[in-house]
Amino acid sequence: MAAATARESDFAIIFEKAGSAIGKVAPDGRFLVVNQAYCDLTGYSRDELLAGGFQQITHPDDLESDLAALQALLAGEADRYSKDKRYVRKRGRDLWVRLTVSLVRRADGSPDFFIKVAENIDSEKKAEQALAAREAQLRTIVETVPVGLVMAELPSGRIVGGNGQVEQMLRHPILYSPDIHSYGEWPAFHADGRPVESHEYPLARMALNGEHTPSIDVNYRRGDGTYAWTRISGRAVRNGAGELTGGVVALVDIDEERKAMDRAAEQLESVRGQLIHTSRVSAMGTMASTIAHEVNQPLTAIAGCFRGSIKLVERGAPAEEVLRWLERGEQIALRAGETIRRLRAMLTRGEVKRERVELARLIGEANAIGLVGAATDRIEYSQDVDPALAAIADPIQIQQVLINLMRNAIEAMADSPVRRLSIAARQSGECVEIIVRDSGPGLPEALSGNPFEPFQSTKPLGMGVGLSICRTIVESHGGRIWVAEAGSGTAMTFTLPAA
Q: Report the 10 Å Cβ neighbour count for 266.
A: 10
Cβ neighbours of residue 222 closer than 8 Å, sequence gap 6 or more: 169, 170, 171, 172, 228
- Give the model confidence (pLDDT) of 389-399 as tens digits: 999 999 988 98
Percentage of the chain with pLDDT > 70? 83
Question: Per the omega criterion (within 30 degrees of 0), is the bond before 178 cis?
Answer: no
What average pLDDT does this structure show over 60-67? Answer: 94
- Give the model confidence (pLDDT) of 110-124 as tens digits: 999 999 999 999 999
Q: Report the 10 Å Cβ neighbour count for 15.
A: 16
Model confidence at 154, in pLDDT bands (50, 70, 90)?
Answer: very high
Do residues 179 and 219 touch, judged by C-beta distance below 8 A?
no
Please report how many Cα atoms fall inside a 13 Å half-sphere around the Cα of residue 383, on the Cβ side.
15
Q: In whole angstroms, give the CA distance from residue 185 to residue 175.
A: 8
For residue 498, pLDDT over 80 is answered with yes
Q: Which residues pair with 150 in a beta bridge?
A: 162, 249
Q: Return the pLDDT at 72.
A: 93
User: Can you give the three-state secondary structure of the chain, one letter per residue?
Assistant: CHHHHHHHHHHHHHHHHCCCEEEEECCCCEEEEECHHHHHHHCCCHHHHHCCEHHHHECHHHHHHHHHHHHHHHCCCCCEEEEEEEEECCCCCEEEEEEEEEEEECCCCCEEEEEEEEEECHHHHHHHHHHHHHHHHHHHHHHHCCCEEEEEECCCCCEEEECHHHHHHHCCCCCCCCCHHHHHHCCEECCCCCECCHHHCHHHHHHHHCCCCCEEEEEEECCCCCEEEEEEEEEEEECCCCCEEEEEEEEEECHHHHHHHHHHHHHHHHHHHHHHHHHHHHHHHHHHHHHHHHHHHHHHHHHHHHHHHHHHHHHCCCHHHHHHHHHHHHHHHHHHHHHHHHHHHHHHHCCCCCEEEEHHHHHHHHHHHHCCCCCCCCEEEEEECCCCCEEEECHHHHHHHHHHHHHHHHHHCCCCCCEEEEEEEEEECCEEEEEEEECCCCCCHHHCCCCCCCCCCCCCCCCCCHHHHHHHHHHHCCCCEEEEECCCCEEEEEEEEEC
Q: In whole angstroms, give the CA distance from residue 469 to residue 472.
A: 5
Q: Computed from CA positions of residues 381, 385, 388, 394, in that sequence, does the dihedral angle turn out positive or negative?
A: negative
For residue 318, pLDDT over 70 is answered with yes
The mean-pLDDT minimum among 134-138, 172-176, 325-329, 341-345 falls in 341-345
Task: Read off the amino acid at residue 255.
Answer: D
Q: In whole angstroms, give the CA distance from residue 310 to residue 210.
A: 89
Q: Report the 10 Å Cβ neighbour count for 409.
A: 25
Looking at per-residue pLDDT, the higher value among 262 and 356 belongs to 356
Looking at per-residue pLDDT, the higher value among 465 and 385 belongs to 385
For residue 169, pLDDT over 80 is answered with yes
Q: Return the pLDDT at 458.
A: 53
Question: With left for phi above 0 and alpha for psi between -120 and 50, is residue 351 left, alpha or beta?
Answer: beta
Looking at per-residue pLDDT, the higher value among 56 and 340 belongs to 56
- Give the model confidence (pLDDT) of 244-256 as tens digits: 999 999 999 999 9
Query: Which residue, 202, 198, 229, 201, is CA-closest to 213?
Result: 202
Domains by residue range for the chain, with CATH:
13-126 (3.30.450.20), 145-253 (3.30.450.20), 281-497 (3.30.565.10)
**How many residues are present in the chain?**
499
Cβ neighbours of residue 236 closer than 8 Å, sequence gap 6 or more: 154, 206, 211, 212, 213, 244, 246, 247
